[in-house]
Structure 1
Amino acid sequence: MPVYHSSFNAVDGAPQLGNMALLPVKSKTRGYAPTPADFAADDIIDEALNLFRANCLFRNFEIQGPADRVLIYLILFISDCLSKLSTTTSRNDASRTLVTLAVGSFAMPGDAGFPLNALYAPPASMVEKENLRAYMTQLRQETVSRLLDRLYSEDESKPSKWWMAFSKRKFMNKSL
């Protein structure tokens, strides 16, 4: 079974920060990501959430474009979010925990603690680094918001067992 790649790799001329694609995001939070032309279409966060459960089973991932790097980062972040929760965590507790995780300090490409430095190019300048941090923070916040909607779609008192079953899986044997 092949790994699922991002459909946004086909977008020609997408701007990049480092070697990550700067993709439009349907976001309620402020950040560096551009707004999409079509709000009805899926964005990279929807794609990452849709492909998470299939892709997290793979240990290898061949990068086919800059959008795949964003997809890899989001899958690792979703995995990190799920590992912070238990099967008895209420939505309010999960929201507090995951929002703190999303806006807290995190390693970026080029930093010593970033687990995928071999696959990601560091930002070329301090301005690009700050823009990349703003973009990644916006992606993290919006991912948490949408993940909570999926985790607690049936019951506000406990997360979906169909999502929590993947909480111990490590995509590419890595974690953020």
Structure 2
Amino acid sequence: MPAYHSQFNDGDFQSIGNMFLLPIKTKFRGNAPMADPNSEDIVDEALSLFRANCLFRNFEIKGNADRVLIYCILFISECLGKLNKATPQGEAMKQLSTLAVSNFAIPGDPNFPLNAMYTPPPDRSQADQLRQYVQQLRQEIASRLVEQTFVDGKPSKWWMCFSKRKFMNLSL
């Protein structure tokens, strides 16, 4: 059975390196295009496909949106790894917000784990633009993950059971 791919692969979006700058429904400041509030964006798609896709060891990249999806899934895995079953919702939001804005690598950095699959940005200004986009994406994922994962103030066991899984045997 093949993995699930992004529905945004066929779109016409701005690209830096070989990652699309996809629209996001967000309240955080950044350079991501604004998405229609009534439609699904890449964060919704990543959260809905995470549990199915994290079971795969291989993932065939069919477009630039798949690279964004891979990054999102790996970041969701990292977020779930930071949480435990006793973490209250407020504390989880603080931890994941801190994780989202902490120092991170982008394609082209020596410590980026996926450099073989990603093309680095061609110049410094585009690298800064990509870093802003990825930070905004991380903040939005952290915010929505807490909303979706927590039920009655405690993390859902149906989300936490995936905290030890490694998508493609990789981690950020």
Give the TM interval when normalised to the shorter protein. over 0.9
Q: Counterpart in 1 of 2:8? A: 8
Among 147, 172, 175, the residue aligned to 2:171: 175
1:155 counterpart (152, 155, 167): 152
TM-score by length of 1: 0.96
Match in the other structure for 2:67: 69
**Post-superposition, which runs of at least 4 consecutive aligned residues in structure 1 deviate over 6 A?**
none
Counterpart of 2:122 in structure 1 is 124
Query: Which of 122, 132, 135 does residue 134 from structure 1 map onto?
Result: 132
Corresponding residue SS for 1:7 = coil
Number of equivalences = 172
In structure 2, list runs of 5 or more residues that go unmatched: none
CA distance in 1, matches of 2:29, 2:104: 18
Q: 1-side partners of 2:29 and 2:170: how far apart?
A: 29
Distance in 2, matches of 1:4 and 1:29, equals 28
- TM superposition shift of 1:18: 1.2
* Partner of residue 29, structure 1: 28
Supply the distance in 2 between the matched residues of 1:58 and 1:116 (Cα, whole angstroms): 16
Say which of 60, 79, 82 aligns to 1:81: 79
**Helix, strand or coil for the counterpart of 1:72?**
helix
What letter is aligned with 1:140?
Answer: R
* Structure 1 residue 151, shift from structure 2 partner: 0.9
**Paired residue type of 1:164:** M
The superposition leaves residues 39-86 of structure 1 with CA deviations (integer Å, 9 ceiling, x where unpaired) of 101000000000000000000000000000000000000000000111
TM-score (norm 2): 0.98
For 1:80-125, what per-residue CA distance to the aligned partner results, in whole angstroms no more than 9, with x for missing partners? 0000111111111111110000001001111111110000111111
* Structure 1: gaps spanning 5 or more residues: none
Residue 16 (structure 2) aligns with:
17
Provide the alpha-carbon RMSD of the alignment. Answer: 0.7
